[in-house]
């Protein structure tokens, strides 16, 4: 036994010295001499252990060799390597303490946007941004002089001046409710979102609904260039510059939340009842006293003699305010398959709420447009309703939708997706940014701060606001600079593409009117 053991050790030494690392070579060597069976198992186990040790040693040697061939990094060089640390979003709260002590706007907010090479690439702006170029076209050749600007003062509620990223306001007359307050609040949020990026400018703003700059007054050989006047809507006969309305930051008088929060509520409201489970009628609720066309709509309500497929309700806002707005929650009104939009004294802020409801929006032929509605396409985003034959037109629209449920649902979903994605607050701010930037490039004078103007900042507005106004301001506060740059503008319309777009919209409306005509012809034959 001892002799066999010594002999095995000599064979193992010979195998190692020979440089062979093959298991088969090793077993050949140890199996050649006569070995007793009881010794073979111990020899094989010993061989496996040797192989494992050899593999470990070889790996360490090769690894150390590779390490010695790698370039070393000195401590000084290592310090210059940029670390991939996740970006922390900058948030700068309101400094009401400093404002209340000094009665002046604090200077703790960044004056410019810090360049970050890792910032996400900006996306392309929605198509309706192309209308910015059309709205500013009246001044493309002449530019805007101070004389033109001062002529817009006739009806303006205030003048806004932006100098070095700060806002200054000169007020001329009171606006209805808090329209001017929340419009200015929205502009301050734009300055917080893009500090130092909004160029110097002066503009006049009119908070009344109906536009006043008539295009006919600016035609002819002796006509003067139109005064540039900002407001919330315009029409084909006017040249007022459309701007996002105050309700995007809240409508305190009727308890409508800021748009960002309300958009989430509407999204949740849509989930409560599927389209096919909703009431198969057209719904409208609003103030009919502001326009004759709304009073006519009341005649389309269901009665003992006639059902036009419409469920129309007059809204008493005074009673609603006294009862805590229990019957005017917008997210709870998405329970009908169809919702009617009809203008008031001019355009109505309700259009965006109606479009966001997943219901088919039945839009009574509008006269006015705001900043985004020119991007809506008939039969794709909404169903057109005749203005001069509302009841029959609504009846046909509902019957058509209930007979073509798949197509009707698609129209409702497309409108909701448009509102949720293309009308989210980031795009509202970007529209404001591009509009003001292009407007400033037209100015042929250096913006100056009027003697009667005062500096406006978020602190001077929110820190002194009361109750619901302050609540809405805090909810819509831009907490810090944006992480991304403004979206990239799409190219302007060329005459052919603009004409083609408008012609397609008109053709879609004519197609619906043809379907409606045939529908009533068949009804009369029965």
**pLDDT surpasses 80 at 513:** yes
Query: Residue 242: beta bridge partners?
Result: 231
**pLDDT surpasses 60 at 86:** no
What residue segments make up the domains of the chain, in order of their start?
Answer: 96-114+121-251+426-491, 257-424+499-524
DSSP string, 129-183: GGHHHHHTGGGTTT-B-HHHHHHGGGT-SEEEEEETTEEEEEE-SPPSTTHHHHH
Q: Tens of pLDDT along 448-471?
A: 999 999 999 999 999 989 889 999
Quote the tokens at residue 152. Answer: 């817009």
Task: Round the CA-based radius of gyration of the chain to a whole number and report it.
Answer: 36
CB atoms within 10 A of CB 221: 4
DSSP string, 83-119: P-PPPPPP-----HHHHHHHSS--S-S-SSPPP-TTP
Q: Tens of pLDDT along 282-304?
A: 999 999 999 999 999 999 999 98
Alpha-carbon distance of 431 to 258, in angstroms, equals 17
**pTM over 0.85, yes/no:** no
| 3-class secondary-structure state, position 454 | strand
Nearest partner of 272 among 333, 327, 351, 353, judged by Cα: 333
Quote the tokens at residue 145. Answer: 């002089």
Alpha-carbon distance of 291 to 297, in angstroms, equals 10
**pLDDT surpasses 70 at 64:** no
Quote the tokens at residue 94. Answer: 């309101």
Which of left, alpha, beta for 103 (phi over 0: left; psi -120 to 50: alpha)?
left
pLDDT at 525: 80
**pLDDT surpasses 60 at 520:** yes
pLDDT higher for 450 or 111? 450
- 473-498: burial string, b at 16+ Cβ within 10 Å, e else: beebbbebbbeebbbebeeebeeeee
DSSP string, 319-353: HHHHTTSTT--GGG---EEEEEE--SSS--THHHH
> How many CA atoms within 13 Å lie on the side-chain side of 222?
0
CB 302 within 8 A of CB 355: no
CB 315 within 8 A of CB 328: yes
3-class DSSP string for 216-266:
HHHCCCCCCCCCCCEECCEECCECCEECCCHHHHCEHHHCECCHHHHHHHH
pLDDT at 72: 43
Alpha-carbon distance of 169 to 172, in angstroms, equals 10
Alpha-carbon distance of 199 to 247, in angstroms, equals 25
- Non-local (6+) Cβ contacts of 93 within 8 A are 479
Q: Which of 66-75, 306-315, 409-418 has the lowest mean pLDDT?
A: 66-75
Alpha-carbon distance of 345 to 335, in angstroms, equals 27
pLDDT higher for 36 or 182? 182
pLDDT at 9: 53
pLDDT at 87: 60
Quote the tokens at residue 5. Answer: 């053991």
**pLDDT surpasses 80 at 116:** no
Q: Which of 92-101, 234-243, 363-372, 456-465 has the lowest mean pLDDT?
A: 92-101
Alpha-carbon distance of 476 to 253, in angstroms, equals 16
The CATH topology of domain 257-424+499-524 is: Rossmann fold (3.40.50)
DSSP string, 394-429: HHHHHHHHHHSHHHHHHHHHHHHHIIIIITSHHHHH
Which of left, alpha, beta for 358 (phi over 0: left; psi -120 to 50: alpha)?
left
**pLDDT surpasses 50 at 234:** yes
**DSSP at 341:** E
Q: Which of 67-81, 165-179, 270-284, 507-521 has the lowest mean pLDDT?
A: 67-81
Over range 489-518, report the average pLDDT.
96
Helix (H) or strand (E) holding 311: strand 310-314
Q: CB-based burial of residue 162 (10 Å sphere; 0-12 exposed, 13-18 middle, 19+ buried)? A: buried
Nearest partner of 284 among 327, 308, 256, 313, judged by Cα: 313
Backbone angles phi, psi at 493, to 5 degrees: -65, 140
CA distances from 444 to 149, 150, 269, 305, 473 (A): 11, 13, 49, 64, 35
Confidence of residue 219 (pLDDT cuts 50, 70, 90): confident
| 3-class secondary-structure state, position 384 | strand
Over range 226-242, report the average pLDDT.
97
Nearest partner of 383 among 409, 364, 369, 368, judged by Cα: 364
Confidence of residue 252 (pLDDT cuts 50, 70, 90): very high
Q: Tens of pLDDT along 11-31?
A: 445 544 444 444 444 444 444
The percentage of the chain sitting over the pLDDT mark of 90, rounded to a whole number, equals: 68
Backbone angles phi, psi at 88, to 5 degrees: -100, 125
pLDDT at 8: 52
Quote the tokens at residue 329. Answer: 């929650």
Alpha-carbon distance of 199 to 436, in angstroms, equals 8
pLDDT at 150: 97
Alpha-carbon distance of 492 to 497, in angstroms, equals 10
């Amino acid at each position: 036994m001892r002799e066999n053991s010594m002999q095995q050790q000599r064979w193992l030494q010979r195998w190692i010295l020979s440089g062979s690392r093959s298991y088969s070579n090793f077993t050949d060597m140890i199996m050649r001499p006569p070995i007793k069976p009881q010794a073979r198992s111990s020899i094989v186990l010993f061989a496996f252990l040797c192989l494992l040790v050899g593999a470990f040693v070889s790996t360490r040697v090769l690894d150390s060799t590779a390490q010695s061939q790698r370039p070393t990094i000195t401590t000084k060089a290592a310090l210059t390597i940029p670390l991939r640390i996740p970006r922390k979003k900058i948030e700068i709260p309101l400094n009401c303490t400093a404002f209340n002590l000094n009665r002046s706007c604090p200077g703790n907010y960044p004056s410019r946007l810090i360049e970050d090479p890792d910032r996400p690439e900006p996306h392309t702006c929605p198509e309706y941004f192309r209308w910015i170029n059309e709205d500013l076209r009246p001044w493309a050749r002449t530019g805007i002089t101070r004389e033109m600007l001062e002529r817009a003062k006739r009806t303006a509620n205030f003048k806004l001046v932006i100098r070095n990223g700060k806002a200054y306001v000169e007020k001329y007359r009171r606006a209805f409710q808090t329209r001017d307050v929340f419009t200015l609040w929205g502009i301050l949020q734009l300055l917080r979102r893009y500090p130092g990026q909004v160029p110097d400018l002066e503009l006049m703003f009119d908070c009344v609904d109906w536009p006043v700059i008539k295009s006919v007054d600016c035609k002819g050989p002796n006509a003067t260039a139109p005064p540039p006047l900002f407001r919330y809507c315009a029409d084909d006969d006017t040249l007022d510059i459309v701007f996002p309305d105050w309700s995007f930051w809240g409508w305190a008088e009727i308890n409508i939340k800021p748009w960002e929060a309300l958009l989430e509520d509407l999204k949740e409201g849509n989930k409560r009842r599927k389209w096919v489970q909703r009431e198969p009628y057209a719904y409208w609720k609003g103030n009919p006293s502001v326009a004759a066309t709304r009073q006519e709509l009341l005649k389309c309500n269901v009665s003992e003699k006639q059902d036009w497929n419409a469920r129309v309700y007059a809204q008493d806002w005074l009673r609603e305010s006294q009862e805590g707005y229990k019957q005017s929650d917008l997210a709870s009104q998405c329970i009908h398959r169809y919702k009617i939009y009809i203008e008031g004294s001019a355009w109505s802020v309700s259009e965006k709420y109606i479009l966001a409801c997943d219901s088919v929006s039945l839009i009574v032929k509008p006269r006015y447009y705001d900043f985004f509605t020119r991007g809506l396409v008939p039969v794709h985003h909404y169903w057109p309703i005749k203005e001069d034959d509302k009841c029959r037109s609504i009846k046909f629209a509902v019957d058509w939708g209930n007979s073509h449920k798949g197509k009707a649902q698609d129209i409702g979903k497309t409108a909701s997706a448009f509102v949720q994605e293309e009308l989210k607050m980031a795009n509202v701010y970007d529209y404001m940014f591009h509009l003001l930037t292009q407007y400033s490039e037209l100015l042929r004078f250096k913006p100056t701060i009027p003697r009667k103007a005062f500096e406006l900042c978020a602190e001077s507005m929110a820190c002194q606001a009361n109750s619901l106004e302050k609540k809405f301001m805090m909810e819509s506060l831009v907490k810090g600079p944006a992480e991304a740059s403004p979206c990239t503008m799409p190219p302007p319309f060329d005459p052919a593409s603009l004409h083609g777009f408008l012609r397609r919209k008109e053709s879609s409306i004519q197609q619906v009117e043809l379907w409606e005509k045939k529908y009533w012809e068949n009804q009369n034959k029965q």
